[in-house]
Amino acid sequence: SQHDAEKWVKGVCRYCGVGCGVLAGVSKGKIVAVKGDPDNAVNRGRLCVKGILLPKIMDTKDRLLHPMVKKDGQFVKFSWDEALDLIATKFKEAIAQFGPDSVGYYGSGQNIAEEAYIANKLFKGAMGTNNIDGNPRTCMASAVAGYVSTFGKDEPMGTYADIEQADVFFLIGANMAEAHPVLYSRLVDRKNSNPHVKIIVADPRRTRTADIADISLQFVPGTDLALLNSMAYVIIDENLVDKDFVDQHTTFMQGEKKLSFDEFKTFLADYAPEKVSGLIDLPAEQIREVARLFSAKDRNTMSMWTMGLNQRIRGTWANNLVHNLHLLTGKICRPGNTPFSLTGQPSACGSIREVGALSHLLPAHRVVANAKHREEIAKIWGVDPAKMSAKPGYHTIEMFRAAASGALKVLWVVCTNPGQSIPNLKLYREGMEKTFMIVSETYHPTRTSELADVILPAALWMEKEGIYGNGERRTQHIAKAVEAPGEAKPDVWALIEVAKRLGFAEIFPYKTNEEIWEEYRKCTTGTKMDLPPYERLKKAHGLTWPVPDPNGPETSIRYAAPHDPFVKEGIHFYGKPDGRAVIFARPHANPQEMPDAEYPFYLSTGRVLEHWHTTTMTMNVPELKRAMPEMYVELNQADAEKIGVTDGELVKITSRRGECRLKAKINGRGQPRPGMVYVPFHDTELSRMINFVTIDAFDDVSKQPEYKICAVQLAKA
Ligand code: MGD
Ligand code: SF4
């Protein structure tokens, strides 16, 4: 308990993208309690139920304590040296025989930044392949592509502090109450203490978040582009446009082609509320009302969204359309006025987007396809730029497809569990078995480690130090509080040991995380994504970049004076050569798979409050396991009657790819609209793993899979 703690060590919660600051109470070498860090601006001492119960994930029966190698279908204990030598040999052989693109790395938005940086340098810099991707591809890639196409630079301009300044909240495809709980409590506080605050929740499933909504829009799944365009139509039709802002700071485009304001207006003509009302199944007048509220001159407006828009084959476009609404109304780059994408994981931004650990990126928002970018990074990495490939590597789905086809010979998976979390699992689990797969894990067995050839025991949260960067550009240091059990080691150590065995010792000389960070920090200097020094991060309770002066202030609002140190006056979207953000004409398009006579229901998937992703951690916490021991299929009363099931009865869910059996939940915490069902993706039981059913179609631009929509049939099992 708290009273037993001998000391309190500063860190960050292990789970979601909110990034709450924690203090871990340590006694006799163990973490015995966790409390919210009262000095951290994110949570000001608060934590949700997952955060508070973190100590229980540490000493569990299933912690992986030794390296193991699969021999004749059984895992046997190996020494670290033997395991690392074997891994190096496998990489060498594959590269010698099939070239560098026959190997790959699949990482995580839960890696610390140092791990991702070292993996990126090892694969892209030293080994010469861009085959490095990670689970943020399944999570945030459409938000990245949305920011980059509209503003020329990734990541939000605002911060969480905008919540306390906003009067209208437009939440679309986000269930904050369950997926971003502490941020949700800030939203609830804002509303409770300011009765004029209005909250609009747009989601085909009525969620817990809708409990505080003034307006809940349960539109037809997959029609959000039509809804967003319709709101833009009303904004123009009813003269709610901020003309000065639009003239000074935006351009209109359709693909690569510039449009005039009038051409954009013509494009929107098809989206008059009266025309699309049937398609999205909302009254035209309600769309008008929402657009008016969004644009009200005397109110500040903040939009927040997450996987409902991102996990879609039109995810990038959907992101562009939310930005459109803010740009048309000038509700951006001022306190309380911002589009703001919520991040899923604790360091998807800090470790993947910023470090550039996706197959097309390089550190500090650079891209592999740009020769100048490759040269700049090669210089810092100490490698020959000619060795770095200009061709983007495999993105997530391609990577696992290559494993299935046999083109990918060796794959190293670190801090993620794709054997459960990838869509259309049957095919890709077969691929994972086929390739030589190394899995760095804290627990065993998992749905991925069981398919591995080598498993490496990883030090868990606060058994190692490192940096996380949350969804509001806040960079935070996590101190080491306790020793790792058994032979478990920090992932960064294992990566460096393999680098040395591959002959790259000279460019991986690091003795501390601080040395790694300071090298990485050089990649950020002068990029307007400047990160602060390690020394300062150790003492601070998080700092929001850019922090161009190592001892200077953090940045609350990007692109706007006086907040952004790179803007002298007014607003300047410096990510674009002409300083103007883009308002895109993007048409509505159907999801990849529409319900039909054979598969008549929409399936959507996502999270619940009590659990984290594949539940390797949270099912080890008795309180969380008791609260939700198994997953279910949520359906509404009418549909349950149609297929003849009552609450708690088993339902068979079948798609063109696979099937799954789950208990029916009829009046659950969420209410999908008629014709739609919802399944949390957390269950580890093979017969209940919904990713055997989901579709692996992905967005053309962001390559993010469409987890949020596919067509299924339902039957009483
Ligand atoms: P996690 O459970 O977060 O799931 O899916 P995954 O990333 O596959 O996996 C993290 C793993 O890292 C765990 O197995 C944990 O035990 C291990 N681990 C913990 N700490 C450490 C460490 O320090 N080092 C190492 N080496 N390992 C560690 C998440 C993914 O799922 C994401 S991000 C999204 S957004 C997608 N969402 C989604 C959805 O909405 N619907 C459906 N159907 N599927 C989805 N899949 C995707
Ligand atoms: Fe952890 Fe997220 Fe809960 Fe905060 S809201 S305590 S970061 S899980």
Ligand 1 closest atom vs CA 616: 16
Which of 69, 335, 290, 100 lies closest to 198, judged by CA?
290
Which of 585, 678, 633, 624 lies closest to 266, judged by CA?
585
- Judged by DSSP in three states, 243 sits in helix
Task: Give the CATH class of 2-57.
Answer: mainly beta
pLDDT of residue 569: 97
Cα separation, 143 vs 149, in Å, equals 10
Length of the chain: 717
The H or E element that residue 672 is part of is strand 671-672
Average pLDDT over residues 274-303: 98
Cα separation, 511 vs 438, in Å, equals 24
How far, in Å, from the CA of 598 to the mean position of ligand 2? 41
- Judged by DSSP in three states, 432 sits in helix
Of 417, 495, 655, the residue with max ligand 1 atoms within 8 A of its CB, to mutate for a pocket test, comes to: 417
pLDDT of residue 395: 98
pLDDT of residue 67: 98
- Per-residue pLDDT band at 120 (split at 50, 70, 90): very high
Ligand 1 closest atom vs CA 345: 33
pLDDT of residue 662: 98
Of 12, 14, 20, 186, the residue with max ligand 2 atoms within 8 A of its CB, to mutate for a pocket test, comes to: 20
Tokens of 224: 């959000």
Report which bound ligand comes closest to the CA of 20: 2
Cα separation, 14 vs 58, in Å, equals 11
Average pLDDT over residues 526-554: 97
pLDDT of residue 204: 98
Ligand 1 closest atom vs CA 617: 16
CATH 3.40.228.10 placement within the chain: 142-342
Cβ 18 under 6 angstroms from ligand 2: yes
- Per-residue pLDDT band at 698 (split at 50, 70, 90): very high
CB atoms within 10 A of CB 286: 13
Cα separation, 667 vs 149, in Å, equals 41
pLDDT of residue 3: 81
Does residue 93 carry a pLDDT above 90? yes
pLDDT of residue 575: 98
- Judged by DSSP in three states, 32 sits in strand
Tokens of 372: 């100048």
Does residue 2 carry a pLDDT above 80? no
> How far from the centroid of its chain's Cα atoms is residue 457's Cα?
25
Cα separation, 267 vs 271, in Å, equals 8
CATH 3.40.50.740 placement within the chain: 68-139+347-509
Residue 413 near residue 491, CB atoms below 8 Å: no
- What confidence tens digit (pLDDT) does each residue in 31-46 have? 999 999 999 999 999 9
Cα separation, 588 vs 161, in Å, equals 33
- Model-level pTM greater than 0.95? yes
CATH 2.20.25.90 placement within the chain: 2-57
The H or E element that residue 665 is part of is strand 659-665
Report which bound ligand comes closest to the CA of 17: 2
Residue 329 near residue 235, CB atoms below 8 Å: yes
Tokens of 347: 């360091």
Residue nearest to atom 4 of ligand 2 (CA): 20
Cβ 51 under 6 angstroms from ligand 2: yes
Cβ 182 under 6 angstroms from ligand 2: yes
Cβ 15 under 6 angstroms from ligand 2: yes
Does residue 430 carry a pLDDT above 90? yes
Task: Give the CATH class of 68-139+347-509.
Answer: alpha beta
- CA triple 30-33-35, angle to 5 deg: 140
Which residues have a catalytic role annotated? 50, 139-140, 307, 344-345
pLDDT of residue 716: 97
Percentage of the chain lying above the pLDDT 90 cut = 99
Report which bound ligand comes closest to the CA of 40: 2
Tokens of 407: 């083109």
- State whether CATH 3.40.50.1220 applies to domain 601-716: no
Percentage of the chain lying above the pLDDT 70 cut = 100
Average pLDDT over residues 95-110: 98
Query: Position 279: which residue type?
Result: L
Cα separation, 662 vs 437, in Å, equals 30
Mean pLDDT of the chain: 98
Does residue 685 carry a pLDDT above 80? yes
Q: What CATH number should be reported for the domain whose range is 142-342?
A: 3.40.228.10
- Per-residue pLDDT band at 420 (split at 50, 70, 90): very high
Beta bridge partners of 583: 252
Cα separation, 323 vs 243, in Å, equals 16
- What confidence tens digit (pLDDT) does each residue in 372-407 have? 999 999 999 999 999 999 999 999 999 999 999 999
Residue 711 near residue 603, CB atoms below 8 Å: yes
How far, in Å, from the CA of 295 to the mean position of ligand 2? 32
Ligand 2 closest atom vs CA 22: 6
- Per-residue pLDDT band at 1 (split at 50, 70, 90): confident
CATH 2.40.40.20 placement within the chain: 601-716
How far, in Å, from the CA of 346 to the mean position of ligand 2? 9
